[in-house]
């Protein structure tokens, strides 16, 4: 069954032209920022050093072991987190939610703390699995709370998620303090790609696989975004689609947390910006969200590396500042139009 939400296929020519130019701009920025990411850093990995040093030089080694894996990780994180935010917004039917504003990231962090305490020698895949289970539980708890809210006001839903995340984060911080694990907790809370290198980012391909799953089920997510009754009347298994969305969100959140830490606001602002450009059709939005998410994180990661060059500040600081400004702009701009 193919169910596609009505999109603006008959949009006026100026609107189509604006979208075309926006797509071209995102593509050009993606290429330029990805190339720049390969050559920016404390060590000299410039094209001149690569050409003069040859394939066995230190520059070539750093390019293959550090810069290329880091750039791939940044792209995968930006694309997958943007998709996770898009799916979360469809499940909740609210444009101002994402994993970091619904408690999902905090639940996943609690799962990481549990693995550190009880299974310190667990492999990275195992840690991601435990974090995903906790993230899945956090998504379920948030959805249950939202369903119990009698009036689904614009700001009330994300506010409930922020409060839930605050409670879980407080519990996590308390136990981390008692167990002398605050340093590890701070490392997960401050997203950064400084430690990403070959052999330490491959788990993110699981997040990329979840993006593919989201694209396959995109039409169904578009339908459930119209409400449970509407989806059920069309013959869609609402609970099954919600379960698939919850798994996608939990797996992406856990993979990103294990690899790079918590990155706020990305899954909130990117889908909203794409919605302003092309509308709410999930299938059409996924490539745009993935591309713009990758561009957004690439730009913020480069900025984090050059602000205090040769030192590097946490990526979450840059993303949080830019994301907060964009969040306020979206909140004030959309007003009562958000659902």
The distance from CA 56 to its chain's CA centroid, rounded to whole angstroms, is: 36
**CB neighbours of residue 9 within 10 Å:** 9
Most confident of 229-243, 265-279, 282-296: 282-296
Tell me the mean pLDDT in the region 35-63. 77
pTM for this structure? 0.86
Can you give the pLDDT at residue 2? 40
Tell me the mean pLDDT in the region 315-321. 86
Report angle CA 225, 228, 233 to the nearest 5 degrees: 110
pLDDT of 262 higher than 90 = no
pLDDT of 89 higher than 50 = yes
Specify the length of the chain in residues. Answer: 339
- Measured between alpha carbons, how far is residue 173 from residues 129, 167, 195, 252 in Å? 21, 10, 23, 23
| DSSP labels, 118-150 | H-TT--HHHHHHHHHHHHHHHHHHHHHHHHH-S
Tell me the mean pLDDT in the region 30-55. 81
Q: Distance (Å, rounded) from C-alpha 160 to C-alpha 148?
A: 11
Can you give the pLDDT at residue 215? 92
Q: Do 150 and 88 form a contact (C-beta atoms < 8 A)?
A: no
Helices 68-92/204-216 angle, 10° precision:
40
Q: Read off the pLDDT band of 47 (50, 70, 90).
A: confident
Q: Do 140 and 324 form a contact (C-beta atoms < 8 A)?
A: no
pLDDT digits (tens, 9 = 90+) for 178-200: 888 888 787 777 778 877 888 77
With tokens 């119209």, the residue in question is 226
Which two three-digit tokens encode residue 67? 């810069």
Residues in CB range of 169: below 8 A, 6 or more apart: 106, 109
Can you give the pLDDT at residue 6? 41
Can you give the pLDDT at residue 12? 66
Q: Distance (Å, rounded) from C-alpha 162 to C-alpha 139?
A: 13
Most confident of 50-59, 259-268, 291-300: 291-300
Q: Read off the pLDDT band of 154 (50, 70, 90).
A: low
The distance from CA 16 to its chain's CA centroid, rounded to whole angstroms, is: 27
Helix or strand holding residue 83 (H, E): helix 68-92
* 3 state DSSP class of 243: helix
């Amino acid at each position: 069954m193919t169910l596609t939400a009505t999109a603006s296929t008959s949009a006026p020519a100026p609107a189509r032209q604006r979208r075309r130019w926006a797509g071209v701009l995102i593509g050009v920025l993606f290429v330029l920022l990805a190339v720049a990411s390969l050559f920016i850093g404390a060590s000299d990995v410039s094209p001149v050093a690569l050409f003069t040093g040859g394939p066995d030089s230190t520059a070539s080694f750093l390019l293959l072991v550090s810069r290329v894996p880091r750039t791939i990780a940044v792209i995968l994180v930006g694309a997958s987190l943007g998709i996770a935010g898009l799916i979360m917004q469809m499940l909740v039917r609210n444009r101002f939610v994402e994993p970091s504003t619904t408690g999902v990231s905090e639940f996943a962090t609690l799962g990481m703390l549990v693995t550190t305490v009880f299974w310190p020698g667990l492999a990275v895949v195992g840690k991601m699995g435990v974090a995903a289970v906790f993230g899945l539980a956090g998504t379920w708890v948030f959805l249950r709370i939202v369903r119990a809210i009698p009036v689904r006001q614009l700001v009330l839903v994300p506010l409930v998620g922020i409060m839930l995340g605050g409670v879980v984060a407080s519990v996590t911080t308390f136990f981390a303090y008692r167990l002398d694990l605050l340093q590890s907790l701070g490392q997960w809370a401050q997203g950064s790609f400084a430690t990403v290198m070959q052999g330490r980012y491959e788990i993110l391909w699981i997040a990329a696989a979840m993006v593919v799953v989201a694209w396959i089920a995109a039409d169904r997510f578009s339908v459930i975004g119209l409400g449970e009754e509407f989806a059920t009347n069309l013959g869609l298994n609402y609970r099954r689609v919600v379960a698939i969305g919850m798994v996608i969100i939990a797996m992406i959140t856990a993979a990103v947390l294990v690899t790079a830490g918590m990155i706020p606001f990305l899954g909130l602002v990117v889908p909203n910006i794409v919605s302003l450009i092309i509308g709410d059709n999930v299938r059409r939005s996924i490539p745009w969200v993935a591309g713009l998410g990758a561009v957004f994180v690439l730009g913020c990661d480069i900025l984090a590396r050059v602000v205090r060059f040769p030192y590097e500040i946490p990526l979450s600081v840059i993303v949080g500042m830019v994301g907060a400004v964009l969040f306020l702009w979206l909140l004030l701009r959309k007003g009562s139009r958000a659902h």
